[in-house]
Copies of this chain bind each other. A is one copy, B any other.
Amino acid sequence: MKIALAQLNYHIGNFAANTEKIISAIRQAKNDGAELVVFSELAVCGYPPRDFLEFSNFIDLVDEAIDKIAKESNDIGIIVGAPARNPDKKGKKLFNCAYFLNEGKVVSKHYKQLLPNYDIFDEYRYFEPAHEVECLKFKGKTIALTICEDLWNISGSYLYRRSPMEHLIQQQPDFIINIAASPFSYNQVERRKEVFDYHQKKYNLPIMYVNHVGAQTELIFDGGSQFINAKGERLKQLKYFEEELAVIDLNEESNDDSHRELDKYEKIEAALCLGVKDYFRKLGFKKACLGLSGGIDSALSLVIAVRALGAENVMPILMPSQFSSDHSIDDSIKLCENLSCEYHQIPIEDIYHSFGEKLEPLFKGLPFDLTEENLQSRIRGTLLMAYANKFNTILLNTSNKSELAVGYGTLYGDMAGGLSLIGDLYKTEVMDLSRHLNRDGEVIPQNIIDKPPSAELRPDQKDSDSLPDYEDLDAILKAYIEDRLGPAEIIASGQDEELVRRSLRLVNINEYKRHQTAPILRISEKAFGMGRRMPIVGKYLS
């Protein structure tokens, strides 16, 4: 049997575009001789549709799209993901469904049984879990059709009490299909491999996996769809971060061993570029602007933006103050030249003084403090937003994960922007990615990478004046944020007690700032944003 795996980039709620894309892939699959074509989870409406699912009208549009797609199924079987109404009056109103279409109509519906409801996932908010599961029969084959999480119940400590495969296997399937919407993180390829290896060894069946590709706001889907035969050989590996339609033959033996796995920073670079590109494209914007400070965060953000959008579509703006060092301006200009990128320069000192004049009667000679530092940052934020508004561009946010974690940033100042590019990279990862981008020659001037980080908001300021060494800080933050370790466990791992307590406290008391941050492109297993939900008035460790 020849089967087409359709790894496509959908747009949430854009039924016209998604349906057209699906139909065009069906026609190509037919041309390529496929008897079955497989699309990913919730392909019809895009993933995650979130509370749009609560609109009956939204589900009507899904149903219309399914009808249109079914009309294309006369000479081919189609497996496509979409929400489906629950006909039972008890339980939630929808199922997360894999539709099987053939001979012009809906032949069967297969519901997802294991609904992820952790991190960025909210599937229990909308979907009733399948109460029973059954294999799909097509052309003499019995297919264990599963949806994403249905296959992920493999770890030592089980999140679920049921295992769909344990039931499906009783019907003696010929192979397993898994349709997914599994978002990228830089260790997701390995996690996925574990999942497939587990089922491979347990059932000795071929597995076909079809994932989304493309970004939906903060979530990036890397594709990585694949076909593994009954011996556990990966005979086909679709591209990462690109659309692809691949036809595989169940009986094929030849190994597609041309595939090379990407390393951590290759993956992150590709993911961030796709994230930026899709955010702009799907919102109908072309142009971006950002503030270029002379530091590593804005430099790295600019390089990613230029790779994603083109130098002609990105406007860096330099906004030096009386506290800016000469090298900040020189380094920034050099970076723009390296990227063939135009830039603007707006000194902020006069504006700063005009604020100072008006605030003087209220502040009555109180000393320079964080207020004046934040003021500079907010003047820059206001200038950038004025540029963004006037020229219909989106301001890019350049905060990194370490500073977002400890609140080392100014709300409405350097925390402003429509999308955060590197907000899921710790400062040490920002450095590593920057070095990676320079691997074939200097893009980011070496001095930007080498100099000690500084916000330059008061004379001779350095990050190290108020923050610990980033190597130590990042290790503590990762233990707390990614691994959810408590203070005792982190201290036991060898970190300084006072530093651990201070860092965790800073993370917790700055929840209010992160609440108002731009969406952050997610590249780790635990990013700030929709996948990490914390109380603001909480008192734990603070």
Cβ–Cβ contact B375 & A533, under 8 A = no
- Name the residue among A14, A215, A382 with the largest chain B CB count within 10 angstroms: A382
- Name the residue among A382, A532, A535 with the largest chain B CB count within 10 angstroms: A535
> Do A58 and B283 contact each other (CB < 8 Å), given the known contacts A158-B91, A159-B91, A382-B375?
no
The one of B51, B350, B518, B541 that contacts A354, using a Cβ cutoff of 8 Å: B350
Complex copy number for this chain = 2
- Name the residue among A61, A159, A355, A517 with the largest chain B CB count within 10 angstroms: A355
Closest to A378 in B: B382
> Do A386 and B357 contact each other (CB < 8 Å), given the known contacts A90-B158, A351-B351, A515-B518?
no
Cβ–Cβ contact B538 & A12, under 8 A = yes
A54 / chain B contacts, CB cutoff of 8 Å: 484
Closest to A214 in B: B537
Q: A91-B160, A283-B512, A348-B358 are in contact. List 17 more A-B contacts (CB 8 A).
A: A13-B539, A13-B541, A50-B533, A51-B532, A57-B486, A57-B488, A90-B161, A91-B158, A117-B125, A125-B533, A216-B535, A346-B359, A355-B382, A363-B390, A374-B385, A378-B385, A385-B412
Interface residue ranges of A370-410 to B (CB < 8 Å):
370-371, 374-375, 378-379, 381-383, 385-387, 389-390
A354 / chain B contacts, CB cutoff of 8 Å: 350-351, 353-354
> Do A161 and B91 contact each other (CB < 8 Å), given the known contacts A362-B346, A375-B386?
yes
A125 / chain B contacts, CB cutoff of 8 Å: 117-118, 122, 124, 533
Q: Does A206 contact B (CB under 8 A)?
A: no
Q: Does A461 contact B (CB under 8 A)?
A: no
Cβ–Cβ contact A351 & B355, under 8 A = yes
The one of B52, B118, B159, B357 that contacts A534, using a Cβ cutoff of 8 Å: B52
Cβ–Cβ contact B344 & A540, under 8 A = no
Closest to A91 in B: B161
Q: How far is the CB of A524 from chain B (nearest CB, A)?
A: 15
A157 to B125 Cα, complex, angstroms? 16
Cβ–Cβ contact A282 & B350, under 8 A = no
A418 to B118 Cα, complex, angstroms? 27
Q: Does A60 contact B (CB under 8 A)?
A: yes
Cβ–Cβ contact B90 & A537, under 8 A = no
A86 to B438 Cα, complex, angstroms? 50
- Name the residue among A12, A61, A215, A216 with the largest chain B CB count within 10 angstroms: A12
A58 / chain B contacts, CB cutoff of 8 Å: 486, 540
Q: Does A279 contact B (CB under 8 A)?
A: yes
Q: How far is the CB of A66 from chain B (nearest CB, A)?
A: 16
Q: How large is the interface on A (under 10, 10 to 19, 20 to 34, 35 or more residues)?
A: 35 or more
Cβ–Cβ contact B351 & A371, under 8 A = no
A374 to B61 Cα, complex, angstroms? 37
A205 to B430 Cα, complex, angstroms? 63
The one of B14, B51, B283, B359 that contacts A383, using a Cβ cutoff of 8 Å: B359
Interface residue ranges of A137-161 to B (CB < 8 Å):
157-161
Q: Does A339 contact B (CB under 8 A)?
A: no
Interface residue ranges of A51-77 to B (CB < 8 Å):
51-52, 54-58, 60-61
A358 to B48 Cα, complex, angstroms? 43
Closest to A57 in B: B486
A338 / chain B contacts, CB cutoff of 8 Å: none
A370 to B392 Cα, complex, angstroms? 11
Cβ–Cβ contact A13 & B535, under 8 A = yes
Q: 30 pairs across A/B with beta carbons < 8 Å?
A: A13-B540, A14-B538, A50-B534, A51-B532, A51-B534, A55-B540, A61-B540, A89-B158, A90-B160, A122-B122, A124-B125, A282-B539, A283-B512, A347-B358, A351-B358, A353-B354, A355-B383, A355-B386, A359-B386, A359-B390, A363-B390, A370-B389, A371-B389, A374-B386, A378-B385, A385-B412, A515-B519, A516-B516, A516-B518, A530-B533
A375 / chain B contacts, CB cutoff of 8 Å: 382, 386
A379 to B382 Cα, complex, angstroms? 8
A217 / chain B contacts, CB cutoff of 8 Å: 535-537
Cβ–Cβ contact A371 & B390, under 8 A = yes
Q: Does A49 contact B (CB under 8 A)?
A: yes
Q: Does A416 contact B (CB under 8 A)?
A: yes
Q: Does A307 contact B (CB under 8 A)?
A: no
Cβ–Cβ contact A60 & B486, under 8 A = yes
Closest to A366 in B: B390
Cβ–Cβ contact A538 & B418, under 8 A = no
